[in-house]
Amino acid sequence: MNKNKEKLLDSRYRAEKRFQFYGKSAIFLALLFLTIFIFKIFSTGYTAFQKTWLIVPVTFDAETMYLDENPSKEDLKDADYFDLALQTMFDLDKSASEKQQNDLKRMVSYFFEREIKRELLNDPSLIGKTKDVYLTASDDLDQVFKGNYPRDLPEDQRRVTDYQLKIFDQLVEQGRVESKFNLSFFTYPDSREAELAGIASSFMGSIFSILVCLVIAFPVAVLAAIYLEEFAPKNRFTDFIEVNINNLAAVPSIVFGLLGLGILLAVFQLPRSTPLVGGITLSLMTLPTIIIACRASLKAVPPSIREAALAMGASKMQTTMHHTVPLSMPGTLSGTIIGLAQALGETAPLILIGMVAFVNTIPGSPLDPAASLPVQIYIWAESAERGFVEKVSACIMVLLGFLIIMNLFAQIIRHKFEKKWS
Amino acid sequence: MNLVIFIFIVLLGFTSYYFGRKKAYSIQATNTRLTALPQFYGYYLAIWCAIPAFIIYSLWAIFEPSIVKLIILSDYSNQGYLDDELNLIYEKTKSLSRGQFSGEITPYLETSAEKYLNLRSIAQNSKVVLILAIIIASIVYGYKRISSNNRTREPVEKFLNAVLFTASLAAILTTIGIVFSLIFQTIDFFKVIPLFDFIFGTHWYPAKAFVRDASEPLDPSMYSDTFGAVPIFAGTFFIALIAMCVAIPIGLMSGIYLAEYASTKVRQYAKPLIEILAGIPTVVYGFFAALTVGPFLKDIGTAMGLEVSAESALAAGGVMGIMIIPFISSLSDDVITSVPQGLRDGSYAMGATKSETIKKVIFPAALPGIVGSILLGVSRAVGETMIVVMASGLAANLTFNPLESTSTITAQIVVILIGDQAFGDPKTQAAFALGMTLFLVTLSLNIFALRVVKKYREKYE
């Protein structure tokens, strides 16, 4: 009998251990996913912050540029650099056949003409002389140099030809290939060519959308929260508003995209693909988040504050506006920032209102067509070129960086400025 | 120009605040008792100055274009043009007046364009004059009303109250906006495609319904067997099911562990870390699923001799499950923590171990709340878009094999609406009908879940 009891107890204890183990492994799994996830993004993305340059000697021959003697600055600006640039590349291998010459040309980005021009405009005295110029390598060679390119594939299965690899290896041996910080990733707009694609356009698009979203959602949400928390009579209508807010908070984001498409674009005829429409759509999504946060922090202000103000003869409106609302601001602001961070990461509604259009200019106002960072991730992730994989990861890193900063900011506001009532 | 007027009104509002307050001070200086604080006199005047002007300004902005259009097109009214042609003429006139027209310029168009420019400048000038007149009249009226025995606090506060109330209507307006944007297109859609075919049809090939020439009459038979939504309903359900298979065990167990076992220190770090998973944008998950998980599963499958699609439902559903873990873990953590301590103490007193207490006492007590949290998770999974668009297929296969690709409601909406849309085309309308379905499904899930959670809360409060 006693033995039986012990056995039972043993198995019960084992069940206890097992249960704890399940719990621990669940948490472990969740954190493991997070780690794999972040590791994967960083390990594929960090190389995008480096860019490969070919250092090529350029002979600024006035004849090739069809320039007269002693050209003025204007002449230099209007000169034809294309032949010079082509000649520069062809000079890498003087014995190249026509097909090989084409390969040589495709070793650099199609900006090579501009890069050579910039060099000469910076220093017009270079005419007739030879100078080493940094040219952006094509995205495939960039990947080769970073070691991400499967060189051992048969030639017909890769875009880099054997000839290009041969010339490239020669250049590497001569120390004519260099990797430098990829500033153009932050300053260039989107491009079809991976080596020239940057996040400037989508970044500005995101900033404009978020600003529009903030300008619309913040005041409306705060005013609505004040009304619902401080002034609204308890009746059916107020209940209805509350049910509405709670439901809106859980409506899938793509439905808001349909709203933007069906109402903002089709009925109000606002311009397609613009951060203005994107921002308005996002603001409708963010509204419930901010309202809920603001109401919670209004609720946290103790009644004694209100009573003291009322006892001093302040009206209800004065009490609210001068005492309750300022005291609730830290909570409201941190809720707003978290809502904006959510909006910043939103993709689906922006796709529906046309912010996926290919934009290769940097938008200057919310009325210019633009993409946004998450949409840029989507666009690049859908393109087949190898060079875009690391760009996507790098773009994700920038986006995550922003989200982390915003969330930290929200935490700091909450902890630093929020009053603890005890 | 419009911006200038806008800024002008705003600036005038601020200055009139200053003048109103100044007048109140000067009344105060004569030792007369005011009925409100001087600021209120300022607010009073500012409201009088700005609000009537804003009302006129926005009414003008709404009605001006349509009135101008009406006048321009009245020239063409008796010539038997169709509505579409009239619209085209108007668009041509507008672009000609901006100097951007590149088509054939007829004398008619030229006179219209001239007339258009004329009307616009008349409208612009009369707007400025009208707004100025309104501002002057209302400021004078308001300024006169400011005196010691006139109450200003009550009207100002009433006005503020009205503003607050209007703002609180925004949530209702948004809901109405959603319903309106969906319902008309949906009704049009069901005029062409019978509801029965939509709900029970098993073939979904929206690509077949190419954009139709608008001049041809609509032929419903063209679309038979095109918009049968069963494959995508099944796909949505299936991917959500896979997601929940990942999210429920992990989320629930970590919620229980955090609530019952974890030390304060573990809790302090583990909880926010898990919640990071909820803050990662879905497009990032989509990329992760498409780039890493999909090929990984494919490699494993090939090694085991299985045919696995690179865009399998398993990859999309699994990653979606990871995304939903924190929703379930936080909510169930909250629910379990709010189970009264007395229940635990009673169970321990009877000699139960901790896990027995959790399984036999706390879990049943918290069950409604946990069910609510799971339902909210399901509603997330059903409405999730980017992961499916990027990681699962875009073709709607009717399959329940997790290794094949399938599609969901959300993914189909994106597929249909990406790029240019033609309103009035059944293909576009189909996306709205799907949106309506999605909205109704998630709405009922949410209402049900919130009701369950609320009922449960009342029980223990």
pLDDT digits (tens, 9 = 90+) for A186-203: 888 888 888 888 899 999
Residues of A in contact with B278 (CB under 8 A): none
How far, in Å, CA of B19 to CA of B13, rounded? 10
Whether residues B116 and B263 share a domain: the answer is no
pLDDT > 70? residue A1: no
Cβ under 8 Å to B: A residues 83-142: none
Number of domains in chain B: 2
Q: Average pLDDT of B26-36?
A: 81
Q: What is the pLDDT of residue A109?
A: 84
Lowest mean pLDDT among A195-199, A334-338, B253-257: A195-199
Are A258 and B432 an interchain contact pair (Cβ–Cβ within 8 Å)? yes
- Model ipTM value: 0.89
Q: What is the pLDDT of residue B216?
A: 57
pLDDT > 70? residue B214: no
Lowest mean pLDDT among A320-334, B31-45, B92-106, B300-314: B92-106
Whether residues B430 and B335 share a domain: the answer is yes
Lowest mean pLDDT among A142-151, A278-287, A339-348, B16-25: A142-151
**Which residue, among B37, B268, B284, would best test binding to A if mutated, counting the most A CBs under 10 Å from its CB?**
B284
Q: What is the pLDDT of residue B461?
A: 57
Higher pLDDT: A75 or A289? It is A289
Q: pLDDT band at A150, cuts 50/70/90?
A: confident
pLDDT digits (tens, 9 = 90+) for B226-252: 788 888 899 999 999 999 999 999 999
Q: What is the pLDDT of residue A334?
A: 92
How far, in Å, CA of B142 to CA of B40, rounded? 12
Are B283 and A223 an interchain contact pair (Cβ–Cβ within 8 Å)? no
Are A381 and B253 an interchain contact pair (Cβ–Cβ within 8 Å)? no
Are A27 and B438 an interchain contact pair (Cβ–Cβ within 8 Å)? no
Task: Give the 3-state secondary structure of residue A56.
Answer: strand
Q: How high does pLDDT run on average in chain B?
A: 85
What is the residue range of B21's domain? 2-157
* Pairs across A and B, CB distance < 8 A: 250
Q: Average pLDDT of B124-137?
A: 88
How many Å lie between the alpha carbon of A170 and the closest alpha carbon of chain B?
Answer: 33
Whether residues B133 and B24 share a domain: the answer is yes
How far, in Å, CA of B327 to CA of B329, rounded? 6
With CA atoms as reference, report the closest residue to B425 among B188, B181, B85: B188
Q: pLDDT band at B459, cuts 50/70/90?
A: low
Q: pLDDT band at A326, cuts 50/70/90?
A: very high
Residues of B in contact with A12 (CB under 8 A): 353, 356
Pick left, alpha or beta for residue B263 (phi over 0 → left; psi -120 to 50 → alpha; otherwise beta). Answer: beta
Cβ under 8 Å to B: A residues 379-418: 381-382, 389, 392-393, 396, 399-400, 403, 407
pLDDT > 70? residue B154: yes
Lowest mean pLDDT among A223-232, A349-358, B249-258: A349-358
Lowest mean pLDDT among A301-315, A378-392, B276-290: A378-392
Are A254 and B413 an interchain contact pair (Cβ–Cβ within 8 Å)? yes
**Is B38 within 8 Å of chain A by CB?**
no
Percent pLDDT > 90 in chain A is: 40
Partner residue opposite A247 with nearest CB, options B254, B325, B447: B447
Cβ neighbors of B387 (< 8 A, separation 6 or more) are: B282, B285, B286, B289, B316, B319, B320, B323
Residues of A in contact with B413 (CB under 8 A): 254, 258, 352
Residue where a domain stops, chosen among B136, B157, B178: B157
Q: What is the pLDDT of residue A385?
A: 77
How many Å lie between the alpha carbon of B435 and the closest alpha carbon of chain A?
Answer: 6
How far, in Å, CA of A69 to CA of B380, rounded? 71
**Is B354 within 8 Å of chain A by CB?**
yes
Burial class (CB in 10 A: 0-12, 13-18, 19+), B128: middle
**Is B55 within 8 Å of chain A by CB?**
no
Residue where a domain stops, chosen among B132, B157, B182: B157
The b-or-e profile of B64-90 (16+ CB within 10 A means b, else e) is eeeebbeebbeeeeeeeeeeeebeebb
Q: Tokens in use for B433?
A: 């009908």
Alpha-carbon distances, residue B191 vs A326, B184, B196, B223 (angstroms): 54, 11, 12, 12
Q: Residue A238: closest CA among chain B residues belongs to which residue?
A: B168
Q: pLDDT band at B150, cuts 50/70/90?
A: confident
Are B385 and A347 an interchain contact pair (Cβ–Cβ within 8 Å)? yes
Cβ neighbors of B397 (< 8 A, separation 6 or more) are: B231, B235, B404, B405, B406, B407
**At which residue do the structure tokens 């601001």 appear?**
A329
Q: What is the pLDDT of residue B148?
A: 65
CATH topology of domain A200-417: MetI-like fold (1.10.3720)
> Is residue B205 one of the residues assigned to a domain?
no
How far, in Å, CA of A219 to CA of B164, rounded? 10
Q: pLDDT band at A14, cuts 50/70/90?
A: very high
**Is A14 within 8 Å of chain B by CB?**
no
Partner residue opposite A254 with nearest CB, options B249, B276, B383: B383
Whether residues B117 and B8 share a domain: the answer is yes
With CA atoms as reference, report the closest residue to B20 among B48, B41, B34, B40: B41
Give the rounded distance of the alpha carbon of B234 from its chain centre. 25
**Which residue, among B40, B69, B174, would best test binding to A if mutated, counting the most A CBs under 10 Å from its CB?**
B174
Partner residue opposite B325 with nearest CB, options A30, A348, A356: A30
Task: Give the 3-state secondary structure of residue A250.
Answer: coil
**Is A253 within 8 Å of chain B by CB?**
yes
pLDDT digits (tens, 9 = 90+) for B78-130: 777 777 777 777 777 777 777 777 777 777 777 888 888 888 888 888 888 98
Q: Tokens in use for B220?
A: 């419903």
Burial class (CB in 10 A: 0-12, 13-18, 19+), B323: buried
> Is residue B218 one of the residues assigned to a domain?
no
pLDDT > 90? residue A344: yes
Partner residue opposite B385 with nearest CB, options A231, A348, A356: A348
Q: What is the pLDDT of residue B220?
A: 61
Q: What is the pLDDT of residue A203?
A: 93
Burial class (CB in 10 A: 0-12, 13-18, 19+), B163: middle
How far, in Å, CA of B7 to CA of B186, rounded? 42
pLDDT > 90? residue A284: yes
pLDDT > 80? residue A407: yes
How far, in Å, CA of B362 to CA of B315, rounded? 34
How far, in Å, CA of B185 to CA of B428, rounded? 8
Q: What is the pLDDT of residue B398?
A: 80
Residues of B in contact with A403 (CB under 8 A): 279-281
With CA atoms as reference, report the closest residue to B115 among B60, B76, B81: B76
Residue A277 near residue A260, CB atoms below 8 Å: yes
Partner residue opposite B423 with nearest CB, options A232, A266, A392: A266
Read off the pTM. 0.87
pLDDT digits (tens, 9 = 90+) for A67-80: 777 777 777 777 77
Domain ranges of chain A: 47-182, 200-417
Residue A197 near residue A389, CB atoms below 8 Å: no
Of A59-73, B141-155, B381-395, the range with the highest mean pLDDT is B381-395
Are A378 and B283 an interchain contact pair (Cβ–Cβ within 8 Å)? yes
The partner residues of A55 in beta bridges, in order of sequence, read A134
Q: What is the pLDDT of residue A73?
A: 76
Annotate chain B with three-state secondary structure: CHHHHHHHHHHHHHHHHHHHHHHHHHHHHCCCCCCCCHHHHHHHHHHHHHHHHHHHHHHHHHHHHHHHHHHHHHCCHHHCCCHHHHHHHHHHHHHHHCCCCCCCCCHHHHHHHHHHHHHHHHHHHHHHHHHHHHHHHHHHHHHHHCCCCCCCHHHHHHHHHHHHHHHHCHHHHHHHHHHHHHHHHHHHHHHHCCHHHHHHCCCECHHHCCCCCCCCCCCHHHHCCCECCHHHHHHHHHHHHHHHHHHHHHHHHHHHHHHHHCCHHHHHHHHHHHHHHHHCCHHHHHHHHHHHHHHHHHHHHHHCCCCCCCCCHHHHHHHHHHHHHHHHHHHHHHHHHCCCHHHHHHHHHCCCCHHHHHHHHHHHHHHHHHHHHHHHHHHHHHHCCHHHHHHCCCCCCCCCCCCCCCCCHHHHHHHHHCCCCCCCCHHHHHHHHHHHHHHHHHHHHHHHHHHHHHHHHHHHC
Residue where a domain stops, chosen among B157, B186, B212: B157
How far, in Å, CA of A331 to CA of A308, rounded? 22
Q: pLDDT band at B458, cuts 50/70/90?
A: low
Higher pLDDT: A27 or B204? It is A27
Query: Where residue B414 sits, what CATH number does that domain have?
Result: 1.10.3720.10
Percent pLDDT > 90 in chain B is: 26
